[in-house]
Structure 1
Amino acid sequence: MMKKMVVSCLLTLFSLGVMAQSASISPSRFYFKQAPGESGIQLLRVTNNGEKPETFQISFANFDSEGNQGKTSLVDDDFSSGCAHWLSATPAFFEVAPGETKDVEIRIQVPSTPEALSVRWATGQVRLASERSALNERGADVTGMQIIQTFQFLFHVFQTPPALQDMKEASVLSFQNVTEGQDAQVTLLMEVENSGTAIVDCVPYLDVLNTVSGETERIMNKPFSILPGGKRMVRFLLPEAMAPGPYNILGVIDYGSRTDLAGAELNIVVD
């Protein structure tokens, strides 16, 4: 059975000392498009915004995203869609002075094997650890457990073979009004599925038409990505100031296709 551990985009254990530390990374996503047997390099920027030198370490792990809520979990090294074992960082262990930025090479080495013909993904972990000075100061005769305060940033890596770059396809599984009782805002839910073989980066929006006045409005929502075979639930909140009356609403997902969009239509009445 595959072991999993829930992970969020920023894992943090706070203490008063750690809260005073400040660091950042950029970008948070890497998109590689290497053919089998090829390698590729992109740069990760790690910035120390604190007031003292800090040491960082980079490692890689596989992740999966089940369900339709956009949550991810770390999975075993043998995960069939993972590429953590293809990734490396140079340097993988380094120090950054206060106010400085370190450029790190993130390299992917794609093997010349059949597994290189499918989309792969993984996550990188940039960890900052405090020194173990507290335990040393207690002396060798003192026993006990020491808590090492650390925090880590995650970035995601996606590898798409060139042959699959134009194989994007998404569909809307459902689009419904889920407003309850006397809710101040009309709430709509849309479930989207990646029905293709490539990762899709989705931009969701609504085209809202008042069928009496003819007035139209476009309502944008936050972009998101869906892995092949995955699903995602998108929540839309209509403006509270909408005039009462009947509306025709077209929910649209722009998933990066050059020719197609995914969408669904809904008619509602705002009281």
Structure 2
Amino acid sequence: MSHWPLCLLLSLLFCCGLQAQQISFSPMRLFFKGAPGETVSETITISNTTSQPYEFLLNLKDWNRDSLGTKHYFPESSLPHSNAKNISLPQTNFIIAPGEKKIYTVNMRIPLADTQKTASNSMLFFTQVNAPRTNAKAKPGLGIRISMEFGIQLFYTPQAADRGSLQFEAFNYESLRIKDSAVQRLIVKYQNTGQVHKDGFIRFELTNKQTGEEIKPAPVPMAIAPLSNQVAYCPLVKQAPGDYLAVAILDTGAGNDLQVAEKNIHVDE
């Protein structure tokens, strides 16, 4: 930034390969499995179909989710559920040439069996360091640099970890005004009782008791850390006054039981 004091650096965090830039990383999540004390490897495929080289700097960070499921980042090895100290990287910067496909290997030393029973995580960031500067003929020196950043989630789940379950803690309906707009929404609070990460969707159904009409809002994505609580909101299209049966379903995919909650609600004028 010292060479272009008036430049604006835009750092974009991607959770999937971007077709517009035609550079992609896959997969975006790595899951490490192995015997205690063993070093295991997982790979990331990086493809560059553009006509320019990309240079990336790599670094690890810790992360967690707040009560709404939003990720927050911290220095590596600073959180109790971090696995960053067990991750080793063969290189911390590299260049991928135009048209090249590169395989990057991430290594993890599996913790000893008696040192960890809850799933751990970290995030591996690939940050572009050679972003070109756009031309700004009207105002020289005010060019914009677009720097891409990709985050790869790294997970380890001990074999002895208790999978637990998702449990509803509360299911409510509210009608309120937010920024002068009338809002109707369903609210669920739920808990992950297990020692493993869980993700999936929260599905909602609403049935008008007078007419029998069924309303199915779009599912709400869900990702929750071990032994934690979250709140999710489902906005509703304005419903006619009357009595409804609301249903919420915690769906974490095949092999897991669906968790269902019901609530009778009344919608006023």
Pick the TM interval, shorter chain. 0.7 to 0.9
Question: CA, structure 1 residues 183+211, in 2 after alignment: closer, same or farther (shift >3 Å)?
Answer: farther
TM-score in terms of structure 1 length: 0.74
* Alignment match of 2:170 (pick from 160, 169, 174): 174
Q: Is the 8 A contact 1:185 1:238 kept in 2?
A: yes
How do 1:142-221 residues align onto structure 2 when only pairs under 5 Å count?
150-164=147-161, 167-181=163-177, 183=181, 185-221=183-219
Q: Is the 8 A contact 2:55 2:95 kept in 1?
A: yes
Deviation at 1:103, TM superposition (A): 1.9
Structure holding more helix per residue: 1
1:177 counterpart letter in structure 2? Y
Specify the code of the residue in structure 2 equivalent to 1:160.
Answer: T
Size of the aligned set, in residue pairs, is 241
Q: State the Cα distance separating 1:110 from its structure 2 match.
A: 0.6
More off after superposition, 255-264 vs 56-65:
255-264
Alpha-carbon separation, structure 2, partners of 1:236 and 1:65: 19
Q: Match of 2:263?
A: 265
1:107 is paired with a residue whose SS is strand
Measured in 1, the distance between the counterparts of 2:22 and 2:114 equals 43
Deviates more, 1:198-207 or 1:180-189: 180-189
CA separation of 1:262 and 1:37: change in aligned 2, threshold 3 A: farther
Name the SS of the counterpart of 1:188 in structure 2. Answer: strand
Identical-residue share of aligned pairs (%)? 22
TM-score where L is the length of structure 2: 0.75
Secondary structure of the residue aligned to 2:115 is helix
Asked if the contact 1:208/1:218 (under 8 Å) is kept, the reply is yes
Letter in 2 for 1:193: Q
Q: Distance in 1 between matches of 2:34 and 2:116?
A: 9
Q: How does 1:85-124 map to 2 (within 5 A)?
A: 85-124=85-124
User: Do 1:58 and 1:124's aligned partners in 2 also have CA atoms closer than 8 Å?
Assistant: yes
Q: 1:209 to 1:270 in 2, by over 3 A?
A: farther
Counterpart of 1:118 in 2: which secondary structure?
coil
Name the residue aligned to 2:140. Answer: none
Q: Is the contact made by 2:39 and 2:107 (CA closer than 8 Å) also made in structure 1?
A: yes
Which residue number in structure 1 is paired with residue 139 of structure 2? none
Residue 192 of structure 1 aligns with an amino acid whose one-letter code is Y
Q: Which has the higher strand share?
A: 2
Counterpart position of 2:26: 26
Structure 2 residue ranges without an equivalent (≥5):
1-9, 14-19, 133-144
Q: Is it true that 1:129 corresponds to 2:129 in the alignment?
A: yes
